[in-house]
Structure 1
Amino acid sequence: MLKVERLTKYFELNISRSMKVQPFNDISFEVEQGAFLGIAGPSGIGKSSILKCIYRTYIPTAGKVWYDSAKYGTIDLARASERQITHLRVREISYVSQFLKVIPRVSAEDVVAERLLPFGQSLEQARAEARQMLKRLNIPASLWEAYPATFSGGEQQRVNLARAFIVRPRLLILDEPTASLDNETKQHVLDLLNDMKRQGTTMIGVFHDWDVMGKVADRILDLRTVQMSAEYKQLAEAE
């Protein structure tokens, strides 16, 4: 479903002087359909940047991101057009960041329901499904018509997860999805993720909590090992 080949990203910063920051270099991996790949490593090693390159929030400096799309067939997300990326984000790929970004004066149920409208559902049908998803993620009914901007961090993250889960994406990208959740809600999220895996959703994610990641990931890519291997390879080539 997803094949990343020699992915590299660097940023050029111009503050007092020109600097090049390279969060990761020459990263390759594959994820089969219905599998979950966890990405691990210390802060600053490039975990979130890899996810953003896959989702195309960042444009990679080098490398390819092959994705098996329902509409376009096998497509390189690193070089796809903006129109293709927009379609895939609406129809096939969901991304959960650590922060919810929505229009301020829109209710929680409508924030979630809005994701279903491009699939031909009526607003009432979409709201009904949104309420069920919010309920499953422990958002009380008293908050369904309230604005997420007034919610706690954990409540906002549950709305964020509901938006991603409700469309049952082909590819789900998760960046610290459970960091601000209590233990009970974490378990609900894990149950939902495992349900989606059984239904064929492919997932790639970063978790702060290794125990939580271990309960859902089929395989864990430790970037410390990958980056070190790349450094040894460069040294060998130089010799």
Structure 2
Amino acid sequence: MLKVQSLAKTFELSMTGQMKIRPFRDLSFEVGRGQFLGIAGPSGIGKSSILKCVYRTYLPTAGSILYDSELYGELDLAQATERQIVHLRRAEISYVTQFLKVIPRIPALDVVAERLLLRGATMEEARVQAQDMLQRLNIPQDLWSAFPATFSGGEQQRVNLARALIARPRLLILDEPTASLDHDTTLKVLQLLNEMKEQGTTMIGVFHDWDVMGRVADDILDLRIWQASQNAAETEQIPAAR
């Protein structure tokens, strides 16, 4: 479903005299249909940057991101047009960050239902499914008509998850989705994610808790190990001093 080859990203900080930061380079991995790849590593190693390259929030500096889409067949997300990316995000790719960003003064129920409306569902159908998803994620019914901006951090994150999961995407990207959730809600999220995997959703994500990630991930890419192997390979290529 997803094949990343020789991916690299470079950031240039002009305020520091064109200082360049390369969180990763020559990174390759594959994720099969209905599989979950977890990405692990310390802060600053590039986990979120990898996810943003796949979602195309960031444009990779080098490499390819081959995605088997329904709309376009196999498509390199690194080379896709902005129109193609917009269509894919609307139809088959969802991204969950740690922060909820929505239009103010829209009730939580309609925030979640919107994803289904974009796919042609009626308002009644979308709201029924949104109610079910909010209920599964422990959002009290008296909050469904309230504005998410007034919610606690954990409640906002549950709305954020509901909005992404209700669309049943082909590719789901998760950046610390359970960081602000309590234990019981985290277990519900893991249950939903495992259900979606069984239905064929492919996932790639970062979790702050290795134990939580281990309950849903089929494989884990540890960037510390990958970085060490890259450094070792580079060292071997340096000629020995005479």
RMSD: 0.8
Q: Does 1:133 align with 2:133?
A: yes
TM-score (norm 1): 0.98
The residue aligned with 2:145 is: 145
Deviations 1:74-100 (A, max 9, x none): 000001000000000000100000100
Deviates more, 1:7-16 or 1:92-101: 7-16
The residue aligned with 1:56 is: 56
The residue aligned with 2:72 is: 72
Cα distance in 1 for partners of 2:78, 2:179 equals 28
Deviations 1:29-87 (A, max 9, x none): 00000000000000000000000000000000000000000111100000100000000
- Equivalent pairs counted in the alignment come to 239
Instruction: Compute the displacement of 1:123 (Å).
Output: 1.1
**Cα contact 1:104–1:149 (8 A) shared by 2:** yes
TM-score (norm 2): 0.97
Cα distance in 1 for partners of 2:59, 2:96 equals 18
Q: Among the aligned pairs, what percent are the same residue?
A: 69
| 1:162-177 mapped onto 2 (5 Å cutoff) | 162-177=162-177
**Cα contact 1:25–1:227 (8 A) shared by 2:** no
1:168 maps to amino acid: R
Cα distance in 2 for partners of 1:17, 1:60 equals 22
Q: Which runs of 5+ in 2 are unaligned?
A: none
Instruction: Compute the displacement of 1:230 (Å).
Output: 1.4
Q: Which runs of 5+ in 1 are unaligned?
A: none
Cα distance in 2 for partners of 1:197, 1:61 equals 31
Cα distance in 1 for partners of 2:202, 2:61 equals 25
**Cα contact 1:13–1:20 (8 A) shared by 2:** yes
**Cα contact 1:154–1:180 (8 A) shared by 2:** yes
2:26 maps to amino acid: D
Instruction: Compute the displacement of 1:16 (Å).
Output: 4.1
The residue aligned with 2:33 is: 33
Instruction: Compute the displacement of 1:236 (Å).
Output: 2.2
Cα distance in 2 for partners of 1:164, 1:111 equals 10
1:118 maps to amino acid: L
Deviations 1:192-236 (A, max 9, x none): 000000000000000000000000001000001111211222222
Cα distance in 2 for partners of 1:73, 1:168 equals 19
